[in-house]
Amino acid sequence: RKEVEQDPGPFNVPEGATVAFNCTYSNSASQSFFWYRQDCRKEPKLLMSVYSSGNEDGRFTAQLNRASQYISLLIRDSKLSDSATYLCVVTSYSGAGSYQLTFGKGTKLSVIP
Amino acid sequence: GAVVSQHPSRVICKSGTSVKIECRSLDFQATTMFWYRQFPKKSLMLMATSNEGSKATYEQGVEKDKFLINHASLTLSTLTVTSAHPEDSSFYICSARALADSTDTQYFGPGTRLTVL
């Protein structure tokens, strides 16, 4: 079983649509959770952290369910500029004060005019 | 926000040559830097963790003699791909964790695209 699994995608949605991404992780000792955005041939950039209480940043809402080891990202009112690959990222403690990121394969989103 | 730079952004080299990639934290000190590799349509895979002043810790399956890592200062880590082969062609990305940061946040460099002919 892969450590971090995401929807395979791609998601092709019209502008203004609401789209949801799901992610599951296998390591129950995982500490922190993030969604990153990666544009084509660019480095990943942090989109938002994910908390059990849920958090919202504008059109983006992230949710964590530790019991189910499940993370979600909801994007409302999709914009053309939201087109990118969204990476689910989980961290775990790797010893000596260091944390290791494990990336999902990513879900590609294309927002269509 | 914290800025990490990488140089070069793109490199093309002949098979058998060595390539050095630099990763710098520009406005903060980084105790730990990470090197990742991403093949087309694949997720980022951690290659090694580098702590300033000590030997890097390599992930399983990554040859330490082929991928030499040096982290001589709190703002610079280098990755040298020795005797590069076409299968080493990939997108190499570094990230850095700030000295003063107690969270897990890593700041990523813009990546280096390596093509070995």
Tens-place pLDDT, residues B39-69: 887 888 999 998 888 889 999 999 999 999 9
Contact partners, residue B51, CB within 8 Å, separation at least 6: A96, A98, B31, B32, B57, B71
Q: Is B66 left (phi over 0), alpha (psi -120 to 50) or beta?
A: alpha
Tens-place pLDDT, residues B16-31: 999 999 999 998 888 8
Count the Cβ atoms, other than its own, within 10 Å of residue B66: 15
Q: How many CB pairs under 8 A join A and B?
A: 47
pLDDT-derived band at B98 (thresholds 50, 70, 90) equals confident
- Find, among A96, A43, A61, A49, the residue nearest to B44 by Cα: A43
Task: Show residues of chain B in contact with A106, CB under 8 Å.
Answer: 43
Strands (E), chain B: 4-7, 10-13, 19-25, 30-38, 45-51, 57-58, 67-73, 76-81, 90-98, 107-108, 112-116
Instruction: Compare all CA atoms of chain B with the CA of A49 and give the residue at the minimum distance.
Output: B105
Q: Tell me whether residues B93 and A43 touch, CB distance under 8 A.
A: yes
Of the candidates B46, B97, B110, the beta carbon closest to that of A42 is on: B110
Tens-place pLDDT, residues A43-73: 888 899 898 888 999 999 999 999 999 999 9
Q: Tell me whether residues A31 and B113 touch, CB distance under 8 A.
A: no
- Interface check for B46 against chain A (CB to CB < 8 A): the answer is yes
Tens-place pLDDT, residues B71-96: 888 899 999 999 999 999 999 999 99
Q: What order of strands is seen across the sheet that includes strand B4-7?
A: B4-7, B19-25, B76-81, B67-73
